[in-house]
Amino acid sequence: MAESGRPWTVTAQYRRVGSSNDVAKLAAAAGAPEGYAVVAVSQSAGRGRLGRRFHSPEGTGLYISLVLRPGTRLPDPWVATVAAAVAMSEAISGCFNIETSIKWVNDLYLGERKVCGILTESAAGPRGPLYVVPGTGVNLEPPKDGFPGELQELAGALFPPGGMPEGGREMLAREYLRRLQEIYLSLPGGDLLERYRRRSMLTGRRVLVPGAQGGVRPATVLGIAEDFGLMVRYDDGSGETLTTGEVSVQGFRQTPRLV
């Protein structure tokens, strides 16, 4: 369990790693305590959900992974993703006065551009998760050569080239860990749901929901459920609460064609 009297701080810093999550998971497996935080300036094998590559060039981002040992504190490891999203969005606001919103369940957007992704990984124990590692990658500035072709229509950054304040990466890492610890120690109670709902970008929007047999179904987002699922209403009047997968926002550049 977390030590409430010990503030979480950056424990290990790297200029370049394969994946900050992999480093944190190895540390967790070796017995690292809760609150062990790994920060990298770049990653050679950064990844997001569904095995997607997360572009992590040197000098333009913050890549931070944290060891949690929640026991029964988290009803489901994915709540760590929700907590990390809220903590990072609030930290960006607090540090830079930049307001981001959360695209269910794990991405932060600035306008129509994704500026942050979160990947949570865990290992099972006899009485709940042995450890949970939320890994967060933030695009602070665009890469010098621009984002790769497949990301040009989707990815964005908090600042223009050369616009990040001096010491901004370190300041954001500290503030993120402070806010995440505060949220985490309040679980399974606290006001995480209200804070997540307040920053959700999807309520009231038209989205495309992947179908079980392929294709997508258009729907309207009604809000965030008590278990952090996404409540949608389809055009035929039926409803569903999504607890896995992801949706695309109609009208955004990355919205797939209806089939």
Angle at 46 between CA 42 and CA 49, to 5 degrees: 145
Task: Please tell me the distance from the alpha carbon of residue 4 to that of residue 114, in angstroms, as a whole number.
Answer: 33
pLDDT of residue 199: 97
User: Which residues neighbour 219 within 8 Å (Cβ) at sequence distance 6 or greater?
Assistant: 206, 207, 208, 209, 232, 233, 234, 235, 240, 247
Domains of the chain, each with CATH number or no CATH: 10-199 (3.30.930.10), 206-249 (2.30.30)
Q: Are 192 and 83 in contact (CB under 8 A)?
A: yes
pLDDT, tens digit, 9 for 90 and up, residues 135-171: 999 999 998 877 777 766 788 999 999 999 999 999 9
Residue 178 pLDDT exceeds 80: yes
pLDDT of residue 250: 80
pLDDT, tens digit, 9 for 90 and up, residues 68-112: 999 878 878 889 999 999 999 999 999 999 999 999 999 999 999
pLDDT of residue 256: 36
pLDDT of residue 53: 55
pLDDT of residue 192: 97
Residue 257 pLDDT exceeds 50: no
* Residue in 226, 223, 233 with CA at minimum distance from that of residue 202: 223
Average pLDDT for the chain: 88
* Residue in 202, 27, 61, 209 with CA at minimum distance from that of residue 131: 27
What's the start-to-end Cα distance of the chain, in Å? 47
